[in-house]
Structure 1
Amino acid sequence: MPTCSSLPPLGQLPHLEKLELRQLPGIKRIDREFCGGKGAFRRLTSFQVLYMHGLEEWNTTYCVEDGVEEFMFPVLDSLMIQGCPRLRLKPCPPTFRDCIIYESDQVISSLEEVDITSHHCSSSSGAIKLDLTIKDDSSQSMRLFHHFPALRELTISGDHLTNVPESMRHLTSLESLTLQWCDSISALPEWLGDLSSLKSLVIFVCHGIKSLPACIQQLTKLQTLEISRCTELEKWCESEENKTKLAHISNVRVSSLHADQVHFI
């Protein structure tokens, strides 16, 4: 519907559980009109915003009465934002448990700018899974992780990232970390050892990473290490000296240097 310039008050559909907005170039805002009044979206658990190239702003809260603010999607479990290059969120992250943000860098930037002292900002403390793919270097620092202290699974993709964001070091509940398509990252930081709950580390197509830091031995809960299509790092793992540094990890999988096989250390 390329001519659609406003959204109907879908928030008043009492049984609506899943909602997808896709390729509506005339829509610039998602705000209180979308809710249609108080008690909106009481059952909505899945929301996807896909290829909304004209969308510039999503107000994640709305005023119901006497200045009282409510979250637009109070029971949201899964959120996906993809191909929305202009979109910014305000005043704070929506509630969710599982979120994918793909090629929507302004979303990431807007979350970085949120005042953590705001009374709304505790809203996303239940988020457990986050998948971020950045397209340019506007979100280089990625300081948004303070919104998600309970995060357990994190995937980061993006050729423009030159460092693993240091704001991650306080994610003490993080159990799974995947770095993929991050060729500009040249090394993993020593503070990676602060991620004391980490059980799984996956490194995929990160050619700039040539070795693992000494802190890998501090990750005593690490059970799985997967390395694929990272030529120099694969060679590092193959040496007998470095195999001993990984001896505490029960499942180490390194892609073959010479064939489309996977072998185990």
Structure 2
Amino acid sequence: MQRLAGRTALVTGASRGIGRGIARRLARDGALVAVHYASGEAGAKETVAQINEEGGQAFTVGGDVSEAGRIAELFTALEEELRQHTGSATLHILVNNAAYGGRPTLPEDVTPELLDRYLTVNARAPFLIAQRALELMPSGGRIVNISSGITRSAQPDMIAYALSKSAVDQLTLHLARHVAGRGITVNSVAPGRTDNGSPVFSQPAVVERMAGLSAFNRVGQVEDIADVVAFIASDDARWITGSVIDATGGSLLG
């Protein structure tokens, strides 16, 4: 059943990993998906090819979300593509997935430049993208912000990343209240350790330690997160807004 048939979606950072999984799942549910990339154009085209092979519809849009001007260019291209495909620039679903993960860095080693990088990509960009997307979004629209379980557990060497992702949850909370009158929902989905294709997941000892954090004793798979996002993006989730959905596989249960 294609419960998103007739809908359009923008998934940022969809050239690989969780973003790719979300784009593929939304397309399988019937949405026309704009697959965004910053520098991974080849990966984004591969995502589109996979969607096409699965019988879905998608196209690529590029833009470095760390630059406000490039975000404007992204939406110019998005609107043009949407009009070509549907005759309208209407955007029904936004998934703010693009993020800077960086590397573990202790608080005393976080430079102003590094902190700015985290905040620019992980906090400012989702705000600006949501702000622009709302201009194209009708009643019943959906904004899904990809947060992180790290915002509710202490890991000092991830402090800068956690700080930036906490801002995403604040964006969700306050924007949800602001747009509720338009029938638009805004929610966060917070993954835990998820195999996004990073080289670290090819190290059995590391994966075993990460798996031990989950109540299910395994690391998350891209599909685990994509399925949650697909639910939040559907009409079935019409009564959920301003929430942070824990998608950590029980990693925060203690």
User: Does the alignment reach a TM-score above 0.5?
Assistant: no
Greater RCO, 1 or 2 (C-alpha within 8 Å, sep 6+): 2
Larger radius of gyration: 1
Please identify which structure carries the higher strand content.
1
Please identify which structure carries the higher helix content.
2
After TM superposition, the score normalised by the length of structure 2 is 0.31
